[in-house]
Every structure is written in C-alpha cells, then in structure tokens.
A and B are shown apart, each in its own frame.
Chain A
Amino acid sequence: MTGGLRNPYLQVLLWTLGVGSALTAIVLTVPWLPQDASTAAHPVDTLYDVLAVVSCYIFALVTAILLVSVVHFRRRHNDLSDGEPIHGNTTLEAVWTAIPALLMVGAAVYSALVLADIEQTKANTHQVDITGQQFAWTFKYTSDGGFRAGELHLVKDTPYHFKLHAKDVIHSFWVPQFRLKKDAVPGMTTDIRVTPTKFGRYTLICTELCGLGHATMRAPVVVQDQAAFDRWAVQAKKNQNLVGGIS
C-alpha cells in the first residue's frame, strides 16, 4: 500500500489540495453575497472570502483523511482482527492544537481590524434618526431640516450616522447591500454608521422577530445624488404636512 499513488498519505495530500482548490474556485467565483453598496461591504466581503478559502482546505483535509481511511482501512469480509494499538502521538496532538490556535488568533485579529475599520467615525456625518415600530420604519432627517418620511433616501458617498430607536419591541436595521445591521431597542439609542457608495434602490429589512407583521416590515432605501435628494426632500416635506407628520 505504500507504492506511488496507492500511498494513503499521498492520497490525503492530493485530495486536500485538489478538492480544497476546487472548492476555493467555487467560493471565489460564485457571487454568494449581494451587491456591495457601502464602504463597509468590501472589507467584510474580503474577510468572508479569506475565512471561506481557509475553510475549504480544512474541510478538504477532514474529508480526505476520512475517505482515504474508508477506502484503505475498510474491514474485509470476516476479518476479525484489530487495528494497530496506537494510543496517541504527543507531537501530532501538539501540532493540531497549536496550528488551529494560531489560525484562530489570526482570524480574530483580522476580524477585529475589519470591525474597527467599518465602524470608524467619519467627519461631516449626516444624522438620520430611524424609529422602528410594529411594523413600519420612520426616518427623521435630523441634519437636513428634521423632516420625517417613510423612505430612507441617502446621498451617495456621504457618511451617515443613523440613530436607531424602537417604540414597542426590538427591531433590527439591515440593508444586505450595506452589510450592516443593528438592533433598534426600546429604551435606548443604538448607532450605525453607513457610507453608501452605489446608486440604486435597496430594501431595509427588519431582522429581529417583532410580531405577526415581521415579514412585511420593510422600507425602501434609495441612494441618489445630492440634486435628486434635494428634489425628493422638498416633496417629502410637503407630504409630511399632508399626512400630519408621522410622529
């Protein structure tokens, strides 16, 4: 069993590299994540890709050892013998304790850096106060005259500071294209910082179970240029007076 390609150790190596690389190719070519539309999206996606690629090889290694064992060491019919009485190997055990530990420390440090990056405070932020209640969102454009609307309109490349409020139960603010999420909690104000980078229409999704209408608690998000925003703001202020203002 030790000659050439029949060598089980070699097979494990080849399977790990081959299948690991094939999985990596799939991970990197299939668009798993939605469009990236904020400054946070790119670093988060890169972090995801790095973790996924390392995971591909780890998974390939595990399946390699398992399948090669099944092929090579499967019991022949009526074979009542035992395997080799190997009780352990301290070096090997130290290796598979230390290497995962190092990988994990690396992953944690990298994640912490990305976290600091996507949450950093920027200058000249515009504040929007966002309130969740069963089952609707209200947006108060605090830095732009304080009017209220039922849609979230943002100016591209402008850093925003959203302050989240909840009137009744916990809701959660999520725009998948921004890769950012934060709960809106009754009795306190939570923060989320977003700088949109791509024009488009997105959907704000409530992601914390908030009652029977949870699945319908959505709001349109529009990323536009300053001129379009201004035109919309004029209209929104009028509508606000018509509706009597959403408090």
Chain B
Amino acid sequence: MTTGVAAPQHVLTPKRPRSRARQLLLGPNLLRGAWCAVLGAGFAFALVVFLRTVLNYHPIIKGGPIVTVILIASPLFFLVGIGGFDYWWKYMSGAPTEPEDHSGHGARSWKDYFRVNTDHKVIGIQYTVTALFFLLVGGALAEVMRAELAQPGEQIVNSQTFNGLFSVHASLMIFLVIIPIFAGLANFVLPLMIGAPDMAFPRLNALSYWLLPIAGLMMMASFLVPDGGAFNTGWTAYAPLSTHAPLGQQFFTIGVQFAGTSSIMTALNFLVTIITMRAPGMTFWRMPLLVWANFTTSLLVVIATPFIAGSQFLVLLDRSLHADFFQANAGGDVISYQHIFWFYSHPAVYIMMLPGFGIISEVISTKSRKPIFGYRLMALSLLAILVLGFTVWAHHMFVSGMFSWLRVPMMITTMLIAVPTGIKIFSWLATLWKGVLELSTPMLFALGFITMFTLGGISGIMLAAIPVDIHTSDTYFVVAHIHYVLFGGSMFTIFAGIYYWFPKMTGRMYDERLGKLHFWLTFISFNVTFGPMHWVGLEGMPRRVADYAQKFATWNLVESIGAFALGLATLVFVYNFIVSWAAGPRAPGNPWRARTLEWQVSSPPPIFNFDEIPQVVGGPYEYGTPGAVHAVMNGDRAKVAVPVGGDGHAAGSAGNGSGNGNGHEVPHRE
C-alpha cells in the first residue's frame, strides 16, 4: 500500500547507472548486510574497549561485555545493511525518496527471497520456509536428546550439553517455529482473505521478518560459546540460575528481544490491516475465522510480549550491570521473575494456539462442505480466551512458593478457559456432522488435531487442579502435556495449514499419497513418543534430566524409538514439500472449491492480489445454500444486481471498491 498518511514528496530522480560490482557491494542486499554486521561487531568491540579504558577497568579486553554489545549492535547494523531502513532513512533525512514503483514487490527469482521485499506473499513464504528450517534444527536437537535418553546414565552427551539441547530446542520451537510460522501463513493468506492488496505497513512487515533469522541464528550460535556452551537454563530461564549462568545465556536473553520485536511489529501490522483494509462489505461478522483468530492473537501479542522483553532485560541488567533485581541477598526478589515471565508466557500458549484454531476452522468448513457451526460463538470464544488468557499466568507457579491465596483463583480461571475451548471443539465436531467429508491431508491433520488437542486439554485440566499439579509439576507429565498441546495441537494445525494453502502459496499441488503417509506416520509416532511420558511423569520422573532411574528405562526407550520415527515422518514431509514445489502439477486457482477470497484468485495470486477489489456480500462459509456467494469478483459484479445471502447493508456499500481509483485504499469501517 502506498502510505496514505502524509505521503512524502516522491521526486523522480533519474537513476545513475551503477556498475554491477558497486551495486553488489553497496546495494541493499545480503552482502551489504554481512559487511555491515562485521562493521557493527568492530564498532561494538571498539566501544567496549574505549569505555573500559576510560573507566579504568582491567582487563581492558574482556570477552563477556564485548560479546554482549556485539550481540546487540551487529544485528542492528545488519538490518541497516540489508536495507531494512533505506526508505525511512531517506524520508527522515530529507533526501529524495525513491518513488514507490513497487519494485520491491513480488518475487521474480529465488534470489528475491533473500532480499528485503515488501510483498506480503513473499514475506509469508520467507517466514514459513525460515520457520521450517528452524523446525528441522529444533527437531534434530530433540533427536539427540532422545538418543541420550534411550538408556539411563550418560552415554552421548554430558549434562552441560544436554541442558543446552533442551533449552535451545524449546526456544527455537517456540520463538522461531510455532509463533513465526503462524505469522507467515497469515501474512500470505490474511490480506487475500479480507480482499486487501497487501498488509497495511509493507516495509514494517519486511523488517519484522528480517529480525527473525537473527534471533534464530543467535540462539543456535550459543553452542559455539567456548566457555559453558549454549544457554542451558531452559527456555524459562528462571532467575537466579540464569543471572549467574555462563556467557551462552546472553544469546537467549538478547535473541528473545529480536524475536519479540518481530512478533510485536507483525501483530500491529495485522491489527491495522484487519481493522482498516477489509474489502467493502467485509464486516467483522463476515470475516473468515482465520482472520478472527489472527485478530485476537495479535491483541495478545501486542499486550503480552513486552513482558517477556522486560523480564529478559532485567536478566540482562542483572548479568551485565549487577542490577540485582533477582538477587535475594541484595534486596532482589526471585519470584517476581516468574510472575513477569509467565505474564507473557502463558498468553504465549494462546499466541501459539489461536491462529491454529483459525486454520482448523477454514480446513474443516471447506473439507466438510458445511458452514462453521455457531460461527459467532466461535469468534466470541476466541475473545473469551483472549481475556481469560491474561488471568491464569500463576498456574505455572503453584509450587513456586508465591503468596498462596492466588492459587485457587488462578485455578478457577484456568479451568474456565476449558469452556470457550470446549465450545470450539464441539462446534468443529458439529460442523463435521452431516457434512460431505473429504479426507485429504489437511483434513486428516485437522481431525488428528481435534483428538490430540482434546487429550492435551484434558491433561491441562489435571494440571490446573492444584493438588494434582503439585505432584506433577516439573515432571514428564508436563512434558507430555506441552507436546500434546504444542505438537499434537499447534504443529498439527500448522501441517494442516501448509498442506491446505500449499497450492495457493506455491502454485503447485503437493503429492497427496505422501501427504497421507506423512500424517499417519506422524500421528502414530507422535503418540508413541509422547503418550508414555504421561505415565513416567506420574510415576516420578522429573523433567530436564539427562539421567534417570532404572525403572523408567523401558518406556524411555519406547519414547526414543517413537521420536526417531517422528523424525523420519518429517523427512517425508520435507521431501514432498521440496519436490512438489519444484515439479508438482500446476495448481488451479481453487482446487478445494473453497469460498473464501484467497481461493478466488489464481495460484499463486497476482502481484497485487486482485485486479479489482472484491465486493463482499455474504458470510465466508455459505456451503450448501444455492446461489449464496461470499464475494462478487470483477466481472461478476454486473451480473448480481441484488447481493444474495448478505445481512442487508452490503448492497448499500456496493461500488465503493470500484469507485476508488487507488484500489488498495479502501478502509472500511462499520
């Protein structure tokens, strides 16, 4: 979207021809990003050495502080180098800005995916592929853990490495896989679904993406720290363990800031896009549930994410400047870390789940050929989860020694969240009932999700019951629960979403047989891996240990075998993904005969999505109603004199879209 607010004077300057070498070195690209990052490291080194000299510190050259400042400075220099700030810099400095000729839009070759690109479809793919890369890395770390845990005793890795493995595994899976992959899928399909040509702030969108690989590479790079290795205090990084941990901890503390900033900026972008850029006629009650889901998720992100940023800043200050926020013998308060941390990290559970709910609603409705049962209650239950989600954080702290009166209220709110969640499960089931079910891969993952997530919800209720939680807290029962919720839950929705929109995103069809093979292998090996963890947890096996009692050996071996099978299943997915993208059959515009807007354009969609902004005239899931349509596209407009299936006012706003010369400038408010 060409920014509508106070548009700067676009001065058309004749471009000076640059030599190819000069363009490569100085143009906004990865190479400039790389040398700028090195420059940033040099700057950080010089700054620290200078300050230590001035302040009479000895030794003058000290690894810890230098690395800390490099971790902050180098990524920022990199972002400047890759061109994330080029437009704004010219705008701010009064230099003639380059005319918005949309040259940053669309991808003409694979190289365009390695540049700052403002097209939401390119960014969506950048996000998704990056997240899948980190999924493989995080999965590989898990396989090493399971190899170690196949037998009691230490065989493959020592406890230092093991603690690093589970810490980096969890951090990558949460911050670099589940959260961003939802942002990626939504980036691609959400503007299409609401009939918008792009996100509200395309340049911010590009910048949000480029923060992400920084965070991921930083977390991975922590394994290279010579003294102490990777951060090994878990993804929870409880103080004071984290404030006294070796240098690797700094890679988490700072890495999270980049991932968090990326989340917040994307969420703001989604909010503004959803609120202001819906096509005419797209009222809130006509939005597909994926849009509703990302609307609620974005509110959660914007409100909650600053808290984890805060918690890690306090840890950073404790570590680097001896601020002693969490140092008990210096007046600090240990438990306050957990309150701040969980005030983000519990809502984060819903940040990692609500977009998945949205995906499941799309898949189930389309693949059952039925409207979503109880659409409005489905949307309202998302809002209920949003509100309740902020009132339950201390259920992670029932054994923490916090003030005890908070426990029972938090248990009640936690259990109440099961009500809106139950509404969603039952509404999906009712949507299946009397449908015409097509059991293709996305649908299989959706159905797998419903069963596995129900199990995760059930163990969640048990963990909410304080007396049961006291026994199971920090055991493998919790490990089982989070994997049923985040893998059987979130990851299954992600797989459903990737298969569902694969034709739209790549323009190719995936291999259905391999997709089904992937599902069944995943479904079975997932349960073999994580099912027995419930039992060993109840029996008494604590989490986060490389070694365990002999009596847990059998089940741990079973879990490890399951984990290796799960790894193989993922390779089937990767193979299908790559081969189908490269050489799959061409996808038609609407292979699923779906009703939402993203399927009414070609696959992949044209650069600006719609030749003409569509006119929305009805709900998104009007299956089974003869003649009902969700939206009127281009040429069809003339044919439909009176919109069908709308709630009346659509006809009044008809014509807005076509009347506006600047097609993508149609803010629509109810």
Contact with A along B494-532 (1 / 0, CB 8 A): 000000000000000000000000000000000000000
Contact of B375 among A43, A81, A88, A211 (CB under 8 A): A88
Please, which residues of chain A bring their CB within 8 A of the CB of B439?
Answer: 70, 74-75
- Asked if residues B238 and A85 are in contact (CB atoms below 8 Å), the reply is no
A85-B425 contact in complex given A107-B465, A181-B471, C-beta closer than 8 Å = no
Say if the beta carbon of B546 comes within 8 Å of chain A: yes
Contacts A89-B430, A111-B411, A112-B408 known; 16 new A-B pairs at CB < 8 A:
A48-B462, A59-B458, A70-B447, A73-B437, A88-B373, A92-B430, A107-B461, A107-B465, A108-B411, A170-B241, A180-B471, A186-B240, A187-B332, A188-B401, A208-B238, A215-B547
- Asked if residues A82 and B241 are in contact (CB atoms below 8 Å), the reply is no
A205-B234 contact in complex given A32-B535, A62-B429, A65-B429, C-beta closer than 8 Å = no
CB distance from B484 to the nearest CB of A (A): 12
A83-B370 contact in complex given A65-B433, A115-B467, A186-B334, C-beta closer than 8 Å = yes
Say if the beta carbon of B213 comes within 8 Å of chain A: no
- Asked if residues B540 and A168 are in contact (CB atoms below 8 Å), the reply is no
Give residues 94-149 of A contacting B (CB, 8 Å).
96-97, 100-101, 104-105, 107-108, 111-112, 114-115, 118
CB distance from B621 to the nearest CB of A (A): 9
- Asked if residues A115 and B408 are in contact (CB atoms below 8 Å), the reply is yes
Contact of A69 among B244, B425, B437, B455 (CB under 8 A): B437
Please, which residues of chain B bring their CB within 8 A of the CB of A203?
Answer: 549
CB distance from B590 to the nearest CB of A (A): 13
Tell me the bound Cα distance from A180 to B471 in angstroms: 6
Please, which residues of chain B bring their CB within 8 A of the CB of A207?
Answer: 473-475, 542-543
Residue from the set A81, A111, A174 with the largest chain B CB neighbour count within 10 Å:
A111
Q: Interface residues of A: mostly helix, strand, loop or mixed?
A: mixed
Contact with B along A173-202 (1 / 0, CB 8 A): 010100111111111101000000000000
15 A–B contacts from the bound complex (CB under 8 Å): A32-B538, A66-B432, A69-B435, A73-B435, A93-B377, A96-B423, A111-B411, A114-B465, A118-B467, A168-B240, A186-B240, A188-B335, A209-B234, A213-B159, A215-B546
Interface stretch (choices B130-138, B275-283, B412-420): B412-420
Please, which residues of chain A bring their CB within 8 A of the CB of B374?
Answer: 87-89, 93
Please, which residues of chain B bring their CB within 8 A of the CB of A183?
Answer: 399-401
Tell me the bound Cα distance from A211 to B454 in angstroms: 34
Residue from the set B401, B447, B548 with the largest chain A CB neighbour count within 10 Å:
B401
Tell me the bound Cα distance from A187 to B436 in angstroms: 62
Say if the beta carbon of B600 comes within 8 Å of chain A: no
- Asked if residues B238 and A170 are in contact (CB atoms below 8 Å), the reply is yes
A87-B422 contact in complex given A52-B462, A111-B411, A169-B241, C-beta closer than 8 Å = no
Please, which residues of chain A bring their CB within 8 A of the CB of B399?
Answer: 172, 181-183
Please, which residues of chain B bring their CB within 8 A of the CB of A184?
Answer: 401
CB distance from B422 to the nearest CB of A (A): 4
CB distance from B288 to the nearest CB of A (A): 15
- Asked if residues A73 and B371 are in contact (CB atoms below 8 Å), the reply is no
Contact of A58 among B432, B454, B622 (CB under 8 A): B454
Please, which residues of chain B bring their CB within 8 A of the CB of A34?
Answer: 538-540
Contact of A66 among B407, B429, B471 (CB under 8 A): B429
Which range holds the interface residue count of chain B?
Answer: 35 or more
A51-B468 contact in complex given A59-B458, A188-B334, C-beta closer than 8 Å = yes
CB distance from A177 to the nearest CB of B (A): 8
Tell me the bound Cα distance from A88 to B375 in angstroms: 8
CB distance from B655 to the nearest CB of A (A): 28
CB distance from B161 to the nearest CB of A (A): 10
Q: What 9 A-B pairs have minimum CB-CB distances, sorted nearest first?
A: A187-B328, A176-B540, A85-B624, A215-B545, A190-B401, A83-B370, A83-B435, A82-B624, A69-B432
Say if the beta carbon of A214 comes within 8 Å of chain B: yes
- Asked if residues A211 and B462 are in contact (CB atoms below 8 Å), the reply is no
Tell me the bound Cα distance from A224 to B172 in angstroms: 48
CB distance from A60 to the nearest CB of B (A): 10
Contact of B458 among A55, A185, A209 (CB under 8 A): A55
Contact with B along A226-245 (1 / 0, CB 8 A): 00000000000000000000
Q: Which residue of A lies closest to B535 (CB)?
A: A32
B: residues with CB less than 8 A from A are: 159-160, 163, 232-234, 238, 240-241, 244, 328-329, 332-335, 368-371, 373-377, 399-401, 407-408, 411-412, 415-416, 418-419, 422-423, 425-427, 429-430, 432-439, 447, 450-451, 454-455, 458, 461-462, 464-468, 470-471, 473-475, 535, 538-540, 542-549, 593, 622-625
A73-B432 contact in complex given A47-B465, A82-B623, C-beta closer than 8 Å = yes
Tell me the bound Cα distance from A168 to B454 in angstroms: 40
Tell me the bound Cα distance from A52 to B455 in angstroms: 11
Contact of A86 among B370, B451, B548 (CB under 8 A): B370
Q: Which residue of A lies closest to B471 (CB)?
A: A179
Say if the beta carbon of A219 comes within 8 Å of chain B: no
Tell me the bound Cα distance from A183 to B396 in angstroms: 12
Q: Which residue of B lies closest to A110 (CB)?
A: B465
Please, which residues of chain A bring their CB within 8 A of the CB of B471?
Answer: 33, 44, 48, 176, 179-181
A: residues with CB less than 8 A from B are: 32-34, 40, 43-44, 47-48, 51-52, 55, 58-59, 62-63, 65-66, 69-70, 73-75, 79-89, 92-93, 96-97, 100-101, 104-105, 107-108, 111-112, 114-115, 118, 164, 168-170, 172, 174, 176, 179-188, 190, 203, 205-216
Q: Which residue of A lies closest to B244 (CB)?
A: A169
- Asked if residues A96 and B466 are in contact (CB atoms below 8 Å), the reply is no
Tell me the bound Cα distance from A215 to B149 in angstroms: 12
A86-B450 contact in complex given A104-B418, A115-B467, C-beta closer than 8 Å = no
Please, which residues of chain B bring their CB within 8 A of the CB of A65?
Answer: 429, 432-433
Residue from the set A33, A176, A190 with the largest chain B CB neighbour count within 10 Å:
A176
Q: Which residue of B lies closest to A178 (CB)?
A: B471
Tell me the bound Cα distance from A82 to B624 in angstroms: 5
Tell me the bound Cα distance from A52 to B535 in angstroms: 13
- Asked if residues A73 and B433 are in contact (CB atoms below 8 Å), the reply is yes
Tell me the bound Cα distance from A40 to B427 in angstroms: 39
Please, which residues of chain A bring their CB within 8 A of the CB of B425?
Answer: 62
CB distance from A171 to the nearest CB of B (A): 10
Please, which residues of chain B bring their CB within 8 A of the CB of A100?
Answer: 418-419, 422
CB distance from B153 to the nearest CB of A (A): 10
- Asked if residues B467 and A111 are in contact (CB atoms below 8 Å), the reply is yes
